């Protein structure tokens, strides 16, 4: 019978209670009651404060990766800005240094041009200021290329000088440029005179010297010449005007087995600047008109033999 009863009545699996609608209404009323009570009496404020105190370290710890990432990004951003600022500063510094060098170079060129103008006024013949463009590529010659040619009136054989004295001679003339052979070139020669003794010699470029020296040819061993003697142009060749500085005697070798002494001289003019002065050959200079003698002024009275004026 028990088996029969068990088969007819099913055992209760779920407890029977309030319906879902009733539960919803009840919980809603309870929520409204709790919110009103909390708003009126601040019931949950201590609980919130305690929870905030407990959660503060966790919040700080959770914010650290974000802060670290933001700080790292700001660091690299500031580093990049600092590098850009340093690069801009370095660029401005280089530009200012370049301008300063250009100003110094212009000041030196201005001083050289003033000296050339003062030197130009000392010669009666025509002269032209030229600018050095570059050195020739031939390693066995000492030549310069200047920016004036036959169009500007330069002729072959013209003397080239600077404030120190004779630099060389124009050896090739083209329409727009010209070649200047320096005194130290082994194929260049110039007649010189010892300013102390007045003796004349011929100086040529010394090819054996490394520093660009001059050598006086065919100087007798007994010639009165000393180290430090000033050599100037003699003016007998019709190219160089007399009195231009050429060099200073630097070394004298009086050989026993030779009747000639080996004399070396250092040029006084070394083309350090960019501007030079070209003098036309002396034979092409215009003749300087000679002023007629002034007539003698007649006295107011006539002097007698006794010296008295009547």
Phi, psi of 278 (to 5 degrees): -105, 125
Mean pLDDT, range 166-186, rounded to an integer: 92
Residues 181 and 246 in one domain: yes
Q: Is residue 155 part of a domain?
A: yes
* pLDDT over 90 at 66, yes or no: no
Neighbours of 265 (CB within 10 A): 26
- pLDDT on residue 283: 77
Min mean pLDDT across 65-79, 115-129, 167-181 is at 115-129
Tell me the two tokens of residue 112.
């050289």
Output the CA torsion sign for 262, 266, 267, 273.
positive
CA proximity to 268, closest of 192, 207, 199: 192
Min mean pLDDT across 40-54, 143-157, 232-246, 293-307 is at 293-307
CB 230 within 8 A of CB 250: no
- pLDDT on residue 125: 72
Can you give the pTM of this predicted structure? 0.58
* pLDDT over 90 at 80, yes or no: no
- pLDDT on residue 303: 45
Q: Is residue 302 part of a domain?
A: no
Residues 86 and 207 in one domain: no
CB-count burial class (<10 Å; 0-12, 13-18, 19+) for 169: buried
* pLDDT over 60 at 275, yes or no: yes
Q: Is residue 110 part of a domain?
A: no
**More reliable by pLDDT, 105 or 67:** 67
CA proximity to 214, closest of 280, 256, 167: 167
Q: Is residue 16 part of a domain?
A: no
pLDDT band (50, 70, 90) for residue 149:
very high
Residues 153 and 87 in one domain: no
Min mean pLDDT across 67-76, 110-119, 166-175 is at 110-119
Residues 67 and 153 in one domain: no
Q: Is residue 180 part of a domain?
A: yes
* % of residues, the chain, pLDDT over 90: 23
Full residue range of the structural domain in which residue 231 is found: 127-284
Q: Is residue 2 part of a domain?
A: no
* pLDDT over 70 at 164, yes or no: yes
pLDDT band (50, 70, 90) for residue 309:
very low
Residues 139 and 271 in one domain: yes
Residues 274 and 162 in one domain: yes
Min mean pLDDT across 7-16, 86-95, 246-255 is at 7-16
* pLDDT over 80 at 291, yes or no: no
pLDDT band (50, 70, 90) for residue 72:
confident
- pLDDT on residue 33: 86
HEC profile of the chain:
CHHHHHHHCCCCCCCCCCCHHHHHHHHHHHHHHHHHHHHHHCCCHHHHHHHHHHHHHHHHHHHHHHHHHHHHHHHHHHHHHHHHHHHHHHHHHHHHHHHHHHHHHHHHHHHHHHHHHHHHCCCCCCEEEEEEEEECCCCCCCEEEECCCHHHCCCCCCEEEECCEEEEEEEEECCCCEEEEECCCCCCEEEEEECCCCCEEEEEEECCCCCCEEEEEEEECCCCCCCCCEEEECCCCCCCCCCCEEEEEEEEECCCCCCEEEEEEEECCCCCCCEEEEECCHHHCCCCCCCCCCCCCCCCCCCCCCCCCC
- pLDDT on residue 46: 80
Q: Is residue 230 part of a domain?
A: yes
Number of domains making up the chain: 2
Q: Is residue 309 part of a domain?
A: no
Residues 132 and 279 in one domain: yes
**More reliable by pLDDT, 37 or 288:** 37
Residues 152 and 254 in one domain: yes
- Residue 91 zone, left/alpha/beta (φ > 0; ψ -120 to 50; rest): alpha
Of 54, 82, 97, the domain-final residue: 97
pLDDT tens digits for range 187-206: 889 999 999 999 999 999 87
Of 76, 97, 118, the domain-final residue: 97
| Greatest mean pLDDT range, 75-79, 133-137, 195-199 | 195-199
Tell me the two tokens of residue 96.
């200012």
pLDDT band (50, 70, 90) for residue 301:
very low
Residues 77 and 166 in one domain: no
CA proximity to 166, closest of 192, 186, 187: 192
Residues 30 and 178 in one domain: no
Instruction: Say how far apart CA 275 and CA 162 lie, in whole Å.
Output: 8
* pLDDT over 80 at 280, yes or no: yes
pLDDT band (50, 70, 90) for residue 112:
low
CB 189 within 8 A of CB 234: no
pLDDT tens digits for range 220-262: 988 899 999 999 998 888 888 888 899 999 999 988 788 899 8
Mean per-residue pLDDT over the chain, rounded: 80
Alpha-carbon torsion, ordered 262, 266, 271, 273, to 10 deg: 170
Tell me the two tokens of residue 200.
């004349």
User: How many Cα atoms occupy the beta-carbon half-sphere of 131 within 13 Å?
Assistant: 6
Residues 200 and 142 in one domain: yes
pLDDT band (50, 70, 90) for residue 297:
low
Residues 62 and 211 in one domain: no
CATH number for the domain spanning 189: value is 2.40.10.340
């Amino acid at each position: 019978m028990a088996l029969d009863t068990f088969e007819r009545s099913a055992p209760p699996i779920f407890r029977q209670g309030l319906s879902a609608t009733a539960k919803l209404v009840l919980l809603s009323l309870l929520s409204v009651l709790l919110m009103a009570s909390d708003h009126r009496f601040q019931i949950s404020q201590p609980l919130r404060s305690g929870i905030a105190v407990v959660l503060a370290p966790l919040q700080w710890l959770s914010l650290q990766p974000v802060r670290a990432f933001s700080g790292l990004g700001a660091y690299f951003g500031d580093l990049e800005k600092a590098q850009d600022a340093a690069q801009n500063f370095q660029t401005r510094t280089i530009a200012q240094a370049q301008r300063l060098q250009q100003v110094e170079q212009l000041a030196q060129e201005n001083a050289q041009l003033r000296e050339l103008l003062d030197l130009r006024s000392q010669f009666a013949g025509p002269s032209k200021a030229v600018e050095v463009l570059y050195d020739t590529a031939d390693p066995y010659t000492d030549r310069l290329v200047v920016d004036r040619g036959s169009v500007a009136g330069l002729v072959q054989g013209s003397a080239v000088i600077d404030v120190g004295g004779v630099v060389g001679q124009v050896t090739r003339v083209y329409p727009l440029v010209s070649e200047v052979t320096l005194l130290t070139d082994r194929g260049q020669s110039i007649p010189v005179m010892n300013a102390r003794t007045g003796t004349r010699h011929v100086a040529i470029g010394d090819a054996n010297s490394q520093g660009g020296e001059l050598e006086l040819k065919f100087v007798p061993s007994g010639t009165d010449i000393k180290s430090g003697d000033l050599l100037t142009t003699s003016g007998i060749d019709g190219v160089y005007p007399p009195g231009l500085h050429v060099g200073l005697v630097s070394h004298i070798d009086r050989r026993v087995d030779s009747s000639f002494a080996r004399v070396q001289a250092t040029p006084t003019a070394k083309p350090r600047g960019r501007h030079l002065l070209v003098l036309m050959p002396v034979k092409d200079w215009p003749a300087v008109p000679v002023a007629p003698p002034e007539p003698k002024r007649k006295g107011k009275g006539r002097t007698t033999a006794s010296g008295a004026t009547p």
